[in-house]
Amino acid sequence: MRHSIGEYPPDWYLIAQDVKNAAGWKCERCGHVHEPETGYTLTVHHLDMNPANCRWWNLAALCQRCHLYIQAKVVLPRVWMFEHSEWFKPHVAGYYAHLYGLPEDRELVEEMIDKLIDLGTGKTKLADYL
């Protein structure tokens, strides 16, 4: 089982609120709205399991059900043999941008999603990206 490493920043509550607001208070994976009374409490998951890493690409607004489902399954450094889910593509593309020392600006990453994913999965080389 994977466990968190690192500490949450002092302003975690505000960061989590911003992530949830940006997601429109809906789960990025299943699209369900925040509805605690029916078991769909919106949470924010650190994809790399490091609460100190609050880069946009590392934070996913997920209902508690999706959070628990993907927590043990999503490992950012793992190269997947299947295409990534649409909700996950911006996150993994941001991770690859970070990994290769490329700009992590969300708008730029979203424009280059396919190229960054190809770079991260080994379909292209860094020299081809530049």
Mean pLDDT of the residues in the chain: 92
> How far is 58 from 95, CA to CA, in rounded Å?
7
Q: Residue 45: give the domain boundaries.
A: 1-75
Please spell the DSSP secondary structure of 12-58, one letter per residue.
Answer: HHHHHHHHHHHTTTB-TTT--B-BGGGTB-EEEEETTS-TT---GGG
Q: Does 86 share its domain with 52? A: no
CA nearest neighbour of 104 among 61, 41, 59: 59
Q: Does 67 share its domain with 10? A: yes
Q: Give the predicted TM-score (pTM) of the model.
A: 0.90
pLDDT at 1 over 70: no
Query: What local confidence, expressed as pLDDT, does residue 2 receive?
Result: 59
Query: What local confidence, expressed as pLDDT, does residue 4 receive?
Result: 66
Q: Domain with 55 in it: what CATH number?
A: 3.40.1800
For 10-60, the pLDDT digits (tens) are 999 999 999 999 999 999 999 999 999 998 999 999 999 999 999 999 999
First to last CA, the chain: 37
Beta bridge partners of 62: 43
